[in-house]
A and B are shown apart, each in its own frame.
Chain A
Amino acid sequence: MKKQLMTILTVVLALAMIFTLAACEKKPDPNGSEPAPNKTDPAPNKTDPAPPSGDTTIHVYTRDSSSGTREGFEAVIGFKGELTEKANEVSSNGTMAQQVGQDVNGIGYVSLVTNFAENNLKPLNYEGVEATEANVINGTYTLKRPFCFTTRAADDYKSEEQKQIVAAFLAYMADSKEGREVVVAAGGITDVEGGKPWNEIKKDHPIVDRDNSALTIVCGGSTSVEKCVKAALESFQGIAGNVQFKLDQTGSGDGWTRVLGDEKDGPNASDIGFASRKFKEDKEPVGTAMRSEAFCQDAIVAVVHKDNPISNVTKDDLYKIFTGATATWDDVGK
């Protein structure tokens, strides 16, 4: 009898503990009755308790050092290697979104396709321009980087067929509506409606109508472009006589080198070289390439918690925040 009573008591106690824990979260804002925080404080909301009053220390969130988004962000803002020691490193875009959304004093950066509202995030305008696909395409939103390709010189292919199939693929990926759709689905930003229908473009590339399973398109260069290019190649394979492909992405630096530079005839020689930035005019001349251009854009958005009053940042603001020069939200923009 006694034992049973003890058992019941233990279970009741355990349940009570669980409920207290659960109730903790729903408790109304404990600072609600206190005098209103000064204006620069992030406004507290009902579900999230306010930060310790007056504490506006910026919490910097960054992606791990192998992330393409981080590489792009650091390249545009220009602080490679100068990141503040106090940064919190997260390993994926989703984790970044979730964690900044839980931290009233947090700031991070995510890709444009992120669902901001669901994660309690506020996307910041960059230099006064809202982060939208339209603004990326029309060039006003500048926290972005281009995904570029370049190719071997027109007379430098293994065979005439090889040259034609590479040209056909680039026309598909960069010019056709269908190809652009695939790139957009893989996270790139480009103007789908501005593309031409593939059926029209196809007329200039009769090679796609024969069996191409003996041909292999070799790509090299930037790792960030891999997702978009792979998606485009996979869909191209089905409409171009089962052409084979090989992606050997090692970094933007190798994009030019392997099609036009020192390694163009070496074991890593490629047909198409990619870079997640513009090719450097002085060191990477692409004048001799068969074709060379940006085929899509990758936009990065600086985000803060939705209760943070800030709504716009400049390049200088972001530089100072991420290098630790600006330590509190009160000092942003000063």
Chain B
Amino acid sequence: METAKDFFTSSDVKFAAIRKRRRRTDVLFKSLFRIAGIVAAMMVILIIIFVTSRGVRPFLGSAEERVDLKVFLTGSRWRADQGIYGLGFVIINTLIVSVTGGLLALPLAILSAVLITRIAKGKLSVLLTTIVETLAAIPSVVYGVFAAGKITVLVRDLGNIFGISTYGGNSSFAVILLLAIMTYPTMTTLAVSGIRAVPKELDFASLALGATPTQTSFKVIVPAARSSIATGFTLGLGRAFGEATAVSMIAGNALTGPSWNPFDITRTLTSTMLTGLHETTGLDYEIRFSVGVVLMIVIVSMNLLVHAAKRRLEKKGSAIS
């Protein structure tokens, strides 16, 4: 017959075994996750090392082939046929079209998010969400075909109304419109989840204090979701900066710049990298990696800027409350 003491000892042993097994699985999975993390980090580092190491080559080559770094960063002409690679105006053009496109999409995204989460009910809300998600899933080359066939025509006709002759609508303005359309779904999706995450109590408190639903939406809920909205804006900007296929189809790839006139053709960092990539060799190929390095720097600094702005906004917000 088993005494109580025996029982406890045997069960202790049993539990110890289970605990040991569990600890082992735990360690196993922990190391698995760690490996996954390291691999992911390695990819980023590898890409940066690879692109940078090739990107510096054009500036280190023999005297005949070398590109002057100062000319590269500040130049206002990109003439591969003459061996002149000045990227300065391209950086400015890229900033103009991406930021303007993002700013154009932001209010639309916030308003749509409010509509989806707070105004539309049931099926309509689901339908609108589906539409936004579909927009986000459309490949950029499809946007490009649409832009080259429709947006450019619209811009051309608009230009004609104002008496401005355009290159068949290929222009900064067309790129801005396209980028607004392309960044809109990202921003909307993030804004929607941000608004959904706002605690119900805030909603009720505002309504109980006598605010109308609209006042509640715009004065309480949207400000409370600003962090997600800012993240959406950053992600959207990332897409705008990185969009190559669609943009290069309607940018016109101007040889000089910067293009201040919205109806003038433009050139962006990505379109510069992409045009002719498949057929080119030598310096003209290597220099595309340098453009890639510049693009990465531009995107990272833009993200830091938005984050800084977000932090200031949050400080201000907490000071008020």
Which A residues form the contact surface with B (CB < 8 A)?
A: 3-4, 6-7, 10-11, 21, 24-25, 30, 49-52, 55, 57, 59, 61, 63-68, 74, 80-81, 83, 85-91, 95, 98-103, 105-106, 223, 250
Contacts and interface: CB of A to CB of B under 8 A. Distances in A.
A57 B120 contact: no
Interface string B111-131: 000010001110010000000
B3 interface: no
B255 interface: yes
Contacts of A83: 79, 81, 255
B300 interface: no
Given A55-B165, A59-B168, A106-B167, A6 B119 contact: yes
A63 B81 CA distance: 11
Interface string B232-253: 0000000000000000110011
B77 A85 contact: yes
Contact of B253 (A49, A57, A66, A90): A90
B271 to A, nearest CB: 8
A87 B80 CA distance: 13
Given A64-B276, A66-B280, A10 B167 contact: no
A52 B81 contact: no
Contacts of A4: 121
B169 A52 contact: no
A81 B115 CA distance: 55
Contacts of A90: 253, 275
B100 to A, nearest CB: 20
Given A7-B121, A10-B119, A59-B167, A25 B255 contact: no
B252 A88 contact: yes
23 contacts: A3-B119, A3-B213, A4-B121, A6-B119, A21-B154, A24-B157, A25-B154, A52-B160, A52-B165, A57-B165, A59-B168, A64-B276, A66-B276, A67-B276, A80-B81, A87-B255, A88-B253, A88-B254, A91-B249, A91-B253, A95-B249, A102-B168, A250-B281
Nearest to B277: A66
A277 to B, nearest CB: 17
A68 B279 contact: yes
Closest 9 CB pairs of A and B: A103-B168, A64-B276, A66-B280, A89-B253, A66-B276, A102-B168, A65-B80, A52-B163, A66-B279
A106 B166 CA distance: 10
Contacts of A87: 255
Contacts of B161: 30
B164 interface: yes
B135 to A, nearest CB: 14
A119 to B, nearest CB: 11
Contacts of A81: 79, 81-82
A150 to B, nearest CB: 22
Contacts of A55: 163, 165
A88 B265 contact: yes
A81 B160 CA distance: 32
Interface string B71-95: 0000001011110000000000000
A252 B121 CA distance: 67
B157 to A, nearest CB: 5
A3 B214 CA distance: 10
Given A30-B161, A91-B248, A99 B148 contact: yes
Nearest to B274: A91
Contacts of A67: 276, 279
Contacts of B213: 3
